[in-house]
Amino acid sequence: MTSPDARRAEIAANLARLRQRIDAACQAASRDPAEVTLIGVTKFFPAQDAALLAEAGVPDLGESRDQEAAAKVEEVARLTDAAVTWHFIGRLQTNKARSVARYAGLVHSVDRPQLASALDAGADRAARVLPVLIQVSLDEPGAADDRGGVRAEQLPELAGHIAAAGSLRLAGLMAVAPLGADPEPAFERLAGLAAQLRVDHPGATILSAGMSGDLEAAIRHGATHVRVGTALLGRRTANFG
């Protein structure tokens, strides 16, 4: 077990390297690094690591399972005074929507009308307006390893459904690049879908794309939020997020 100080130093070093990657990617794309929000993905890592990230200057943290997230949100609040915005980035069952609507600052993974309605009801019950992203699939139809998300053809209908929900705010799109393929054409396509969406929904300005392995390509294609776990915290021992 690593000592807290050693872990703090390790995270600081990882973060410095990651910021350099983001800065270089922004420079190559003639973009301002201030346009790109880093979300530290803390799934499968302890609350202590999440608190260390927040204290190191990463106030945006991402989780992909409600049970783990709900517990971590409370524990991190006990561990640090640093402010945290929690991003829900995983597949979400409708019966977990009410819980997520309580603590999430942004839900990235809305992929069907029933889930949008459940989040809307949860946000209403929590007396808040919940910003959400639509997760769009960049996989070929019938791909063996589907990364989730609505098909592009269904995007306008789901966007309209969310826009009509009283306690949701449609804030943009999220996607995961297809597994084992060049992320470049996928993110290019995503940028086109995002531009199309903004014709009818000008407030949908967030583009959540890019992870440890492909954040450069995502930034080249307009990502405003990158979701990075491994490059910050190390390898996860399991991954079903």
Ligand X SMILES: *Cc1c(COP(=O)(O)O)cnc(C)c1O
In whole angstroms, how close is the CB of 127 to ligand X at the nearest point?
28
In whole angstroms, how close is the CB of 212 to ligand X at the nearest point?
3
Which residues of this chain interact with ligand X, rule CB under 6 A? 41, 43, 64, 89-90, 176, 211-213, 227-231, 241
Q: Looking at residue 134, what DSSP letter applies?
A: E
Cross-strand bridge partners of residue 133: 172
Instruction: State the Cα–Cα distance between residues 51 and 108, nearest whole angstrom.
Output: 22
Amino acid identity, position 4 = P
For 225, the 3-state DSSP assignment is strand
| Cβ proximity to ligand X, 178 vs 229, nearer residue | 229
Cross-strand bridge partners of residue 174: 135, 208
Cross-strand bridge partners of residue 208: 174, 225
In whole angstroms, how close is the CB of 62 to ligand X at the nearest point?
7
In whole angstroms, how close is the CB of 164 to ligand X at the nearest point?
26
Instruction: Let me know the angle formed at the C-alpha of 241 by 15 and 57, rounded to the nearest 5 degrees.
Output: 20
Say if residues 206 and 224 touch (Cβ distance below 8 Å): yes
| Cβ proximity to ligand X, 18 vs 170, nearer residue | 18
In whole angstroms, how close is the CB of 125 to ligand X at the nearest point?
26
| Cβ proximity to ligand X, 155 vs 176, nearer residue | 176
Task: Give kind and range of the element (H or E) at residue 38.
Answer: strand 37-41
| Cβ proximity to ligand X, 166 vs 180, nearer residue | 180
Task: Give kind and range of the element (H or E) at residue 164.
Answer: none
For 232, the 3-state DSSP assignment is helix
Phi/psi of residue 40, nearest 5 degrees: -85, 120
| Cβ proximity to ligand X, 50 vs 211, nearer residue | 211
Nearest alpha carbon to residue 174 among 148, 200, 153:
148
By CB atoms closer than 10 A (0-12, 13-18, 19+), residue 144 is: exposed
